[in-house]
Amino acid sequence: MARYQGRLVEWHDEQGYGFIQGINDPKHQRVFLHIKSFQRSGPRPIQGCVVEYDLGLDNQSRPQAINVSYVKAKQVQGKQGTISASNQAKKNAWHPMYILMLIYWVALFVLSSFGKLPMLSLMIIMLINAYTYWLYQKDKQAALNGDFRISEQHLLLMNVLGGWTAAWFARQNFRHKTQKQPFKTYFALSIVLNLVLIAFAVFAQEYLI
């Protein structure tokens, strides 16, 4: 049976499945992959990784990757994988979230420096970010081990209180809750609510105190 190489272009970690886009055979550009199809246990797959697989069929005669194994970068066939990875790196380097987070933190420091926002608030937001990053890391580990999970409400509350910048990095680093809906929508709303909260705090500092 022929072995194929493909890049994982979509992965739903909570459900344990995704889709592979073929590298060395354009006829097999999107193949279903289930976590149980790996030949041996190992690290959880992440979107963008390259795998080698046999092509099989599921119960409904649809293409499915079987006997799957990870492929080292130097073993990737052709240049397509390298080009894709390079493009992905460039895309991430100019991600709009980086600009938003930079503006956010610069604004917090400026507001605090000019007394528009209590310095204590800035320190609390920093601590919340550290705590939030730890929460996402713990929840990811719990998801992998089948342990007790941290509620999404708690994660989102930390975002609203200012931990959304650390949460965004944690989601990218751990490949955790980056595709799940409606969490993605709630995540965006939590950022908006935090900005509203910061605006209210500035208004209160200026006019009510």
pLDDT tens digits, 167-202: 999 988 887 787 777 888 999 999 999 999 999 988
If you search the block for the tokens 């939590």, which residue do you land on?
190
Please give the structure tokens belonging to residue 102: 């930079």
Average pLDDT over residues 88-117: 82
Nearest-Å Rg of the Cα atoms of the chain is 21
Q: Based on the domain organization, do 81 and 114 belong to the same domain?
A: no
More reliable by pLDDT, 159 or 63: 159
Cα 16 → chain centroid: 15
Q: What's the whole-number average pLDDT of the chain?
A: 82
Q: Based on the domain organization, do 128 and 83 belong to the same domain?
A: no
Q: Based on the domain organization, do 145 and 60 belong to the same domain?
A: no
Q: Which of 61, 90, 119 is the last residue of a domain?
A: 90
* Nearest one of 78, 18, 14 to 48, comparing CA atoms: 18
Residue 141: count other Cβ atoms within 10 Å of its Cβ. 12
Q: Based on the domain organization, do 49 and 99 belong to the same domain?
A: no
CATH of the domain at 18: 2.40.50.140
pLDDT of 40:
77
- Count the domains in the chain: 2
Mean pLDDT is lowest, of 53-67, 75-89, 140-154, for 75-89
pLDDT of 165:
96
Contact in structure between 136 and 167 (CB atoms under 8 Å): yes
Q: Based on the domain organization, do 67 and 103 belong to the same domain?
A: no
Domain with 84 in it = 3-90
> DSSP H helical segments within 43-182, as ranges?
80-93, 96-113, 119-145, 152-158, 164-174
